[in-house]
Amino acid sequence: MLDPKPGEKIVDLCAAPGIKTSLISWLTNNTASIIAGDFHTERTKIMKNLTLDLKITNIHLLNEDSINFPIRFENYFDRILLDAPCTGSGTFLSNPEIKWRQNEDFLYQNITLQRKLIESAIKLLKQNGVLVYSTCSLYPEEGEYQIMEYMDFLEPLHLPTWLSPSYKINNSILAGTGRLFPSVHQTQGFFIGKFKKKG
């Protein structure tokens, strides 16, 4: 989805444990300049060990708060991956215990965090830069409704046809968004959106 290119400046805002970041590095032949950040110290340590094991040299790891990303530049990065923290409602098959955490307070907590992360990503992304936003959630509040708030800043981009359409909002599909469903794709449940930052 991110379609990273060699030589680009890329950020993975919620990167740990580092599998997606490592794949981005591999797809760019280790030539992109990648910053991978995560709030959780222990998960960041796991990411460090993974990148060392894979002999990846073009990733700069940060144990940081991506809401207040510790970099001076705005409108700077070519691509940003934001696989945001969420309720995990799409992962019940592999994590059945998560269903007992589902309630309005837990949902609101995650929605609030996601909004702050999206706003941080938009600020960091350069004009015409690409943002991929995803959550492993089946709730529209963490997907379609969430991203609708930022369509003044984002232009939808084309998604692969193998994705299912996202949920209809006001009787229409939100362009640039799609979903993965366990029953259809034999995966976890995901919302995925791909956008270009407007000028």
Q: Nearest to residue 147, comparing CAs of 120, 186, 174, 185?
A: 174
What single letter denotes the amino acid at residue 27? L
**What is the maximal distance between C-alpha atoms in the chain?**
48
Cα gap 7→44, rounded to integer Å: 24
Is 86 among the catalytic positions? Answer: no
Q: Nearest to residue 31, comparing CAs of 68, 11, 50, 4?
A: 4
Strand 125-135 to strand 77-83: parallel, antiparallel, or no bridges (unpaired)? Answer: parallel
Q: Among the options 11, 136, 138, 159, which is catalytic?
A: 136
Cα gap 89→137, rounded to integer Å: 5
Q: Which residue is it, tokens 């591999």?
A: 26
- 116 CB-near residues (< 8 Å, 6+ apart): 67
Q: Which residue is it, tokens 């706003």?
A: 119
Point out the residues that are catalytic.
136
